[in-house]
Amino acid sequence: MNKTILFAFIFIQTFIAAQSSEKNLSSENWQFRNSKDQHWLPAKVPGTVHLDLMNNKAIPDPFKDENEKKVQWIENEDWDYQTHFSISQKELENQHANLVFNGLDTFSEIYLNGKLLKKTDNMFRKWEIPVKNLLRKGDNELKITFRSAVEEGKKRAKQVPFTMPESPRSFVRKAQYQFGWDWGPRLVTAGIWKDVKIEFWNTARIETIKVEQKKLSGKSADLYIHTSILAEKEGKYTFRINDKANTVQLKKGNNRLAIPFTIRNPKLWQPNGWGEAFLYDMKFSLQNASEILSAQTLKLGLRTIELVQEKDAGGKSFYFKVNGNPVYIKGTNWIPADSFSPRITKGKYQKLIRDAKEANMNMIRIWGGGIYEDDEFYKACDENGILVWQDFMFAGSFYPGDETFLANVKEEVKDQVSRLQNHPSIALWCGNNEIDEAIVNWGYQKQFKYSKSDSLQVWKDYKKLFHEVIPRTLKENLTADKNIYWPSSPSIGWGHKESLTEGDSHYWGVWWGEQPFEIYNEKVGRFMSEYGFQGMPTLATTKTMFSGVPDLSLQNATVKAHEKHARGWEIINEYMKRDYNVPADFMKYNYVSQLLQARGMQIAIEAHRRAKPYNMGTLYWQLNDCWPVVSWSSIDYLGNWKAFHYQAKRSFEPLLISVAETEKAYDIYFINDLMNAVSATSGAELLDFDGNFLWGIDAADMIKANSSEKHFEISKTELAKFDLSKAVLKMYVKNGSLHQEKLFFFKKPKDLKLTKPDITIKKISPTEIEVSADVFAKDVYLIGDTHFSDNFFDLLPKTSKRITLSKSLENIEVMSLWDTGN
Ligand code: BMA
pLDDT at 18: 58
CB–CB of 369/138 below 8 Å?
A: no
CA distance linking residue 167 with residue 13, whole number of Å = 51
Name the residue at shortest CA distance from atom 6 of ligand 1.
182
DSSP H helices in 750-792: none
Name 406's bridge partners. Answer: none
Produce one character per residue of 166-176: b if its CB has 16 or more CB atoms within 10 Å, e if not: bbbbbbbbbbb
CA of 110 to the centre of ligand 1 (A): 36
Three-state DSSP class for residue 260: strand
In short, whether 599's Cβ falls inside 6 Å of ligand 1 is no
CB–CB of 130/124 below 8 Å?
A: no
Helix (H) or strand (E) holding 391: strand 387-391
Produce one character per residue of 269-308: b if its CB has 16 or more CB atoms within 10 Å, e if not: bbbbbbeebbbbebebbbbbeeebbbbeeebbbbbebeee
pTM of the model: 0.96
CB–CB of 486/428 below 8 Å?
A: yes
pLDDT at 434: 96
Residues constituting the chain: 822
pLDDT at 736: 84
CA of 438 to the centre of ligand 1 (A): 12
Name the residue at shortest CA distance from atom 12 of ligand 1.
182
CA of 628 to the centre of ligand 1 (A): 17
Active-site amino acid positions: 434, 530
CA distance linking residue 798 with residue 364, whole number of Å = 39
CA distance linking residue 713 with residue 136, whole number of Å = 81
pLDDT at 1: 43
Give the list of residues 6+ apart from residue 37 with CB closer than 8 angstroms, or none.
Answer: none
Q: Of the residues 434, 507, 511, which should be mutated to test ligand 1's pocket, given the most ligand atoms within 8 Å of the CB?
A: 434
pLDDT at 700: 80
Nearest to 547 by CA among 190, 59, 44: 59
CB–CB of 492/498 below 8 Å?
A: yes
Cβ neighbours, 10 Å, residue 584: 10
Secondary structure, 3-state, 450-483: CCHHHHHHHHHHHHHHHHHHHHHHHHHHCCHHHC
What residues of the chain score a pLDDT lower than 70? 1-18
State the DSSP code for 429. E
Name 245's bridge partners. Answer: 240
